[in-house]
Structure 1
Amino acid sequence: KLDHGILTVNQIDMFLKAMPFELTYADDNNQFLYYNNAHDNPDTMLAKRVPEQSGNRLSTVHSSLPEGRMKNVEFVIGVLRNGDKEYVRTIVPGTPADIINTHNYQAMYYPDGSYAGINEIVFNFKPWLDWYLQTTGQRLVGGTGMPMPPTGAPSGNVDGSNSSVDAISGASA
């Protein structure tokens, strides 16, 4: 039962497929359960997924990643599972100039407040940014900040604690 509305399962499926971004969901046991399969060819996706991955462990879904990138995955899962952060946002480096590959990982919770999994939204931010700048007449100017690090999120906490608690196995902390 939805908390608001009267959508059918077919309407929910159409609604999710029509989203202008890629959506994924992994549950509290680190099982990859859903993505909005609006692409016939996974190579056209920013976060490539195929139907056969549904139901797999996140460690299996990400098994082809280099070790450094897998540590980033473990970090994200760990800080969200442990409640250290409500969300983690990343920009994937090394994409063509016409793509700003943005990933937003959001912790989800059951009604009792316990961790329910991760909702991931992936999209090319560039068209949205270009539209905004054109619509408002604003422009981006150079900044003095550091360029984005090539590896994304750090692989641990500043305080020395380990946020990747069972990020691969899915066992609770």
Structure 2
Amino acid sequence: MCLSNKLHNSDNPQFLDESLYRSIVGGLQYLTFTRPDISFSVNKVCQFMHSPTEKHWAAVKLILRYLKSTSSHGILFSKQNSQQLQGYCDADSGGSIDDRKSTTGFAIFLGPSLVSWCSRKQRSVSRSTTKDEYCSFSASTSELLWICLLLKEIDLSFGSLPSLWCDNLSAISYS
């Protein structure tokens, strides 16, 4: 989804077949289990299930076109000797026009395989990009620690300490 294409509640005109919109977007939500590359976009169009507009429907069709052209993509699990656990996190500061909340996203890899990912709206509005990024960093850390405990519980050891990558120096310093 193009980041400059901001979706909001006041777009007009209303989309006439709301049940079609909800049905397709609901299906896209299930598809994010195997296609994490569409998580952010699906998260955005899900925010307008109560009252979709033509612009929101156009965004859904764009996601469907993307899926059609990338039908061979998906999650690949490969047998590798590397058991390095790494996470990457990010946030868009005040990305939602309607409520000024940010969206948190992270991806966690075990070796070369993606094992956990998330894209969700933060619960509160923050006054700084540092706080947005820190909230994303915190959510990612929580997920990373949970995966570490899970791996220990099933007696799977990983090479070295897990790494978490963030692109905001202020959030890194703050943490």
Q: What is the TM-score of this pair, normalised by structure 2?
A: 0.28
Q: Could you say which structure has the higher helix fraction?
A: 2
Q: What is the TM-score of this pair, normalised by structure 1?
A: 0.28
RCO higher in 1 or 2 (8 Å CA, sep ≥ 6)? Answer: 1
